[in-house]
Structure 1
């Protein structure tokens, strides 16, 4: 397979492989729910050449988390804010861990 082969994108979590209808079906929700997540700026679907919304697996993961929160009684707007903050926290923790791994070992003083 060459680098530009579409099959190489099957494992790409950011590849917009799902139509709105299929995404809604996978999540067990409605296209209106996905549009609401877009309006709340949680996910921004890519558009196909024909102008149709396309969603990635990563976006479906975020939408599934939003659905969990909404099903528990959280408003769509609040659910989206919570997920954005969770995502930011996860990224900050990842960066901190990476910086800790790269940091030199602390020197201990051995004054006699």
Structure 2
């Protein structure tokens, strides 16, 4: 397979493949904690056609961030706010990078060599 092309047979970090018991084990948390975090809106796992929660690698990364914040004594309401701000910051950085690339491309089109 050529470099820089995704392997269609290997799921990406956002592909939800883990059931709650596996996600709980991988994250070192109890299944009840995962349900509580979902109830508080800290993460939203995908659902199978039958309604079973499915967690992705991105969800597991988010669980580690939640655990880190909780370990620092941050309450769930504050964790929700921190995660929302981090998500917004990530989206702004993505948008800024896209705009910068577009600007650079337009500048390149204006200066013929």
TM-score under structure 1 length normalisation: 0.77
**Match for residue 72 of structure 1?**
72
Cα deviation, residue 52, structure 1: 2.1
Q: What is the number of residues matched between the two proteins?
A: 100
Pick which of 19-28 and 50-59 moved more.
50-59
Unaligned runs of 5+ in 1: 1-6, 106-112
Between the aligned partners of 2:16 and 2:101, the Cα distance in structure 1 is 33
Distance in 2 separating the partners of 1:73 and 1:90: 24
In structure 1, how many angstroms separate the alpha carbons of the residues matched to 2:27 and 2:43? 14
* 2:21 is the counterpart of 1:31: no
Question: Can you list the C-alpha shifts for 1:16-65, whole angstroms capped at 9, x where unaligned?
Answer: 11111111111111111111211121221222344321111111111110
How well do the aligned residues superpose, as a CA RMSD in angstroms? 2.1
Looking at structure 2, the residues matched to 29 and 82 of structure 1 have their Cα atoms a distance apart, in angstroms, of: 20
